[in-house]
Amino acid sequence: MLKPITFHFETGAKKALDPDVARIRLAHAKESLLIREDGLGVLEVGAGGEMKDITRRKLVLLARKIVSVVKAHHIERVHIDVADLFRQLGDSHLHLKEEELAELISTHMELANFEFVVYKSEPKEGWKFLRDVFVTGCKTKTVQKAFLRGQVIAKEINACRSLANTPGGDMTPALLAGAARNAVRGLPVKITVLGEREIKKVGMGGILGVSCGSDEKPQFIILEYRGGTSNEKPVVMVGKGVTFDTGGLNLKPSDAIYEMHMDMSGGAAVIHAVALAARLGIKRNIIGLVPAVENMPSGSSYHPGDVLQSLSGRTIEVLNTDAEGRIILADAITYAKRYKPRLVVDVATLTGAAMAALGQRCSAIFTEDETLEHKLRVWGEESGDYVWPLPLWEEYDEEIKGTFGDIANVGKTRYGGAITAAKFLHAFAKDLACPWVHIDMAPRMTSIEGEYLAKGAVGVPVRLLLKIVEDF
């Protein structure tokens, strides 16, 4: 991973700017220009319209665009006047505090500066990325702290992106457990990893069933951060950790199997959301659970038609071995009960059907709690991890009713696949004595054109998970 940006805060008397430092200025035009003014380089970044028309979403893209334009012009050092920027945006309807603006700018500049280059040879001229940002116009230390907080958030998201981008050959369940240990090293987070023997002893037959076709043994990763009071019920976050998904015996076609090393993106998000909460000293109790498996076809694979005994006691009729994520999540959701949680949130790259329904610009959310659903949409807008709800109506229960087991792992028709997958999880979440949310992040697994992010993992929904634990 490339080095993070170094933010330099200049206060007191205004210093003469270094001619090698390009000044950033927003312009109404769509295009961006590098011009000379008073002997200094001025980079006019096109906002594409009047400042009064800028929304929070557009501001996110604008902060990233600054870095994109900087890199295109091979500029490594820039100057930003926060007070001037705040004045420019003052006529908009954003109603942002300066601290919020500072955090948003630093977060998204850092996200845009990231590129996954671990496996690439460095070019002779070096990597093109932004190294230094000189910030003036910070009226208070609080604004400076907001800049640094935004950078901490972005660095953790970028670490999540690196983890999710790691090829499947270098990211087995055991290696994912090792990455989780590294992510929380030095932080007040207790980590426990259950191996195959312990998973079998606990009774998580879903995880054992999915993993049995691979030489790589399953792992059940438990992260515990106790930042709240001793009697506070925790928020439990569950992340899908399929380190490579071939589809099993229901083998994926060749055009669908690429990028399936990122099928553990939900697990990566949970690991780094817990680490981020600990790094920021959030005063909450948080548990992270990541069932980690590799879904492979072999002579020992689980079969279509198999019936698995889940931790809940319910049996799962396997109609398709490529619907494996929901099976391992079922065991993890049941395991969450022992923590007596106040909220359970599961995160998974679960269905292509969610992408078919929503495109690639937001994740799908499912919950029976309408108040929580509304809050999630607000938190999604505030965090930049956008979400949209789909139904959990009881009429869909009939579609996943098993013939030879209690519940089937796919629906009876090919329609509404994201909903039937959520209803499958809901069957296990019903046992929880607290609200439950399912986030199908498959639409946001990788970046798309126009959002000024490097190709590969996006790091969704780490920011949303942070919002949830802070504000729920």
Q: Please check if 240 is assigned to a binding site.
A: yes
What mean pLDDT comes out for the span 435-440? 98
Q: Are 328 and 240 in contact (CB under 8 A)?
A: yes
Distance CA 332, CA 312 (A): 10
Known catalytic residue: 326? Answer: yes
Query: What pLDDT is recorded for position 37?
Result: 81
Residue 13 binned pLDDT confidence (cut-offs 50, 70, 90): very low
Measured CA to CA in angstroms, residue 306 lies from 2, 105, 251, 412 at distances of 46, 51, 16, 17
Q: Please check if 322 is assigned to a binding site.
A: yes
The answer to whether residue 15 scores a pLDDT higher than 60 is: no
Q: Please check if 15 is assigned to a binding site.
A: no
What mean pLDDT comes out for the span 123-134? 91
The answer to whether residue 412 scores a pLDDT higher than 60 is: yes
Q: What are phi and psi of 93, to 5 degrees?
A: -100, 25
* pLDDT tens sequence across 30-40: 889 888 887 77
Query: What pLDDT is recorded for position 48?
Result: 85
Query: What pLDDT is recorded for position 95?
Result: 77
The answer to whether residue 17 scores a pLDDT higher than 70 is: no
Known catalytic residue: 340? Answer: no
Query: What pLDDT is recorded for position 1?
Result: 53
Domains of the chain: 6-160 (3.40.220.10), 168-471 (3.40.630.10)
What mean pLDDT comes out for the span 385-394? 98
What mean pLDDT comes out for the span 84-90? 82
**How does DSSP classify residue 155?**
H
Share of the chain above pLDDT 70, in %: 97
* pLDDT tens sequence across 220-236: 999 999 999 999 999 99
Distance CA 291, CA 177 (A): 10
Query: What pLDDT is recorded for position 164?
Result: 98
Task: Kindly report the pTM of this predicted structure.
Answer: 0.97
The answer to whether residue 14 scores a pLDDT higher than 70 is: no
For the CA atoms of 60, 67, 113, 362, what is the dihedral angle to 10 degrees? 30
Token representation of residue 378: 């607000």
Comparing 47-56, 256-265, 375-384, the range with the smallest average pLDDT is 47-56
Which one of the listed residues 128, 181, 200, 252 is annotated catalytic?
A: 252
The answer to whether residue 94 scores a pLDDT higher than 80 is: no
Distance CA 452, CA 68 (A): 6
Which one of the listed residues 217, 326, 337, 463 is annotated catalytic?
A: 326
